[in-house]
Amino acid sequence: MIKDLYDQDYYLWIMRTIELLNQKKFSELDLTNLVEEIEDMGKSEKKSITSNLRILLMHLLKYKYQSDKQTNSWLFTIVEHRKRLQEAFKVSPSLRRYYEEVFLDCYQDARELASAETGLSMQIFSEVCPFTPEEALNSNYLP
């Protein structure tokens, strides 16, 4: 039974589920686990947005507040995480709305991360985000 496969061999469960979907044998599907997996996929996409945004904002903060210590590695990280976000928006345009919703919360997290990484007091990093969501994604923008 396919439901048993989920716990015994996850990859085989996926392959069998795809097979059943392609054959339109919907009554044989393990719907409980299938729905859960699809929900988890959506959560994973959102998690990726917040993770990439935090890292991007942290490096923009470091770039702004430690201009004397800027490195190519910081610039690479800024470029890389912008590209990851833009890629996610290409595949799932609706995630841009989520990006805008979590932007300010991610900025507060980025302040904390930047403080921890640089050793600078968190108070040095403005409580009000110095970048707009558009600037953060703009490949021509550096603070």
The pLDDT of 1-19, averaged and rounded, is: 92
The average pLDDT across 55-78 equals 94
**What is the tally of structural domains in the chain?**
1
- Whether residue 73 lies inside any domain: the answer is yes
Q: Taking 90 as the threshold, does the pLDDT of residue 79 lie above it?
A: yes
Residue 27 lies in a domain: yes
Range of 35's domain?
2-137
pLDDT of residue 106: 98
CA distances from 47 to 9, 24, 29, 76, 77 (A): 26, 32, 28, 21, 18
Residue 91 within a domain: yes
- 143 located within any domain: no
Q: pTM of this prediction?
A: 0.86
Distances (CA, A) of 50 to 5, 20, 56, 80, 83: 33, 34, 10, 15, 14
Per-residue pLDDT tens for 93-140? 999 999 999 999 999 999 999 999 999 999 999 999 999 999 999 999
Residue 91 has pLDDT above 90, yes or no: yes
* Residue 61 forms part of a structural domain: yes
11-39 residues labelled b (16+ CB within 10 A) or e (exposed): eebeebbeebeeeeeeeebbeebbeeeee
Q: Are 63 and 34 in contact (CB under 8 A)?
A: no
In a domain, 142, yes or no: no
Is 17 domain-assigned?
yes
Q: Is the pLDDT of residue 2 over 90?
A: no
**What pLDDT is attached to residue 1?**
78
